[in-house]
Structure 1
Amino acid sequence: MDLQRPALLVLVRHAESARNQAKKGSVYFADDAARQVVRGVPDHLVELTEDGHKQAVQTGQGIRARFGTFDYVYTSGYTRTEQTAEGILSAYSPAERARMRCKSDLFIRERDPGFAYDMTTAEAEAAFPWLNEYWQTFGGFMARPPGGESLADVTGRVHTFLNGLFQDRAGQRVMIVTHGGALRCFRFLLEGWSYSQAQRWPEGQAPANCGVTTYRCAGDGGPLQLEDYNQVYWTVGSAADGI
């Protein structure tokens, strides 16, 4: 029976970025001093930290040992995912890398954070005093940050990406380097989550930097099934939350 989806799908969250380090898992910056290093850098140009580069290299060693080569490697095109992919692929020989096609796809980029992107907590609360109540009402999957996207919005474009992937990469081995928010949308679609499941990560289950989530297609051509979630292969830095 011909497979109608990839045989192997490996999702990797990007390694630690400069904004991860500066925000320390918070929604906004704690104060002006915390944001100075990355202030004014647009989201798609945020780079990895020194530890982030090390995380990516160590993750590549683990991925190569476990999975071998891939047919395709996708990134969101954001600097932090491209740098992460480059670190992962450094574990492979030139001949192995030559067999793997690399592509970027804007449909798997992180959610647009909106107008509060560079704000401190105090600034965001002053500018959007209604936001907390609104967020509590609609929840973390449906609510949109001012000027930005909800995760439900992101799910729409991830769905489009998966439709193309299932058609074009059926039976192939695929690795995707993406973002924490997009990863939740992938899980919503691939695992058939309810809206309530998608509202927030369960306690202690937010994806780690370079966390590896694996799906395999059943041998009879059945759906992709979750093999494991958030496997970590690195031993440096910190598993920062956030995007």
Structure 2
Amino acid sequence: MNTPVTTIDLLRHGEPAGGPRFRGTVDDPLSETGWMQMRAATADGQWDRVVCSPLRRCREFAEELALQRGLDCRVEVDFREISFGLWEGLTAAQVEANCGEALARFWQDPVACPPPRGEPVADFSARVEGAWQRLIADARGQRVLVVAHGGTIAMLLRGVLGMPLSHSWRVRMGYAGQARLRLDHTPYGLLTALLRLDPGV
């Protein structure tokens, strides 16, 4: 018996303007390099629809790609990046200089030691998972491109790989990094396989 198969490509945004920094809710656009990275990453892809984060570094490219290919593009607000609270907009060196111990604790255990006034990782996980379940239900049997963030993709892959929440940040995706998931909708439940992982640059 044939069962529906959904293919979901997860694509992290390219390099944003302003360089590397804690950029959760900070809404910078892509740099020129970032645009080139994204166009190269999607040159050969074939999809039925595009889903993206509402933040500019994801949305503007996703909308351009969808327009060029005549695809529907849906903005999923719950695929936005985690908020880094008081660290938003700061470089790692700036945070290290002022909050070195807190930063070390965050990388070691982000669940127990979130950034000050940042979004708790458990809350981030719950909203990303809710958006993921809505996508699965809505895109059954389709090929979908999801343009999102390093943290969002790490959270999705953590769930697929069965990693504990405290290990979420061990999944690293570089700019324009990609992962392909195959979802088989069987009579016995949903079977998910990681088919490809390209960590990007």
Category of TM-score, reference length = shorter chain: 0.7 to 0.9
What is aligned with 1:54? Answer: 36
Q: C-alpha separation between the residues in 1 aligned to 2:144 and 2:85? A: 31
User: Do 1:215 and 1:225's aligned partners in 2 also have CA atoms closer than 8 Å?
Assistant: yes
Q: Percent identity?
A: 24
TM-score of the two chains, using structure 2 as the length reference: 0.82
What is aligned with 1:167? Answer: 137
Residue identity matched to 2:102: L
User: Do 1:57 and 1:87's aligned partners in 2 also have CA atoms closer than 8 Å?
Assistant: no
CA deviation vs aligned residue, 1:135-163 (integer Å, no higher than 9, x gap): 36x61344311111243321111111122
What is aligned with 1:43? Answer: 26
Q: 3-state DSSP class of the match of 2:144?
A: strand
1:104 aligned onto 2:92: no
1:210 aligned onto 2:192: no
Q: 3-state DSSP class of the match of 1:184?
A: helix
What is aligned with 2:55? Answer: 78
The 1:194/1:48 distance shift into structure 2, 3 A limit, reads same
Bigger strand share: 2
The 1:118/1:223 distance shift into structure 2, 3 A limit, reads same
Residue identity matched to 1:215: L
What is aligned with 2:193? Answer: 225
What is aligned with 1:190? Answer: 160
Residue identity matched to 2:143: R
Alpha-carbon RMSD = 2.9
Q: 3-state DSSP class of the match of 2:109?
A: helix
- Bigger-Rg structure (1/2): 1
**1:224-243 equivalent positions in 2, closer than 5 A:** 224-230=192-198, 232=200, 239=201
| Structure 1 runs not aligned, ≥5 long | 29-41, 233-238
Residue identity matched to 1:84: F
Q: 3-state DSSP class of the match of 1:43?
A: coil
> Which moved further from structure 2: 114-123 or 179-188?
114-123
Q: How many residues align?
A: 197
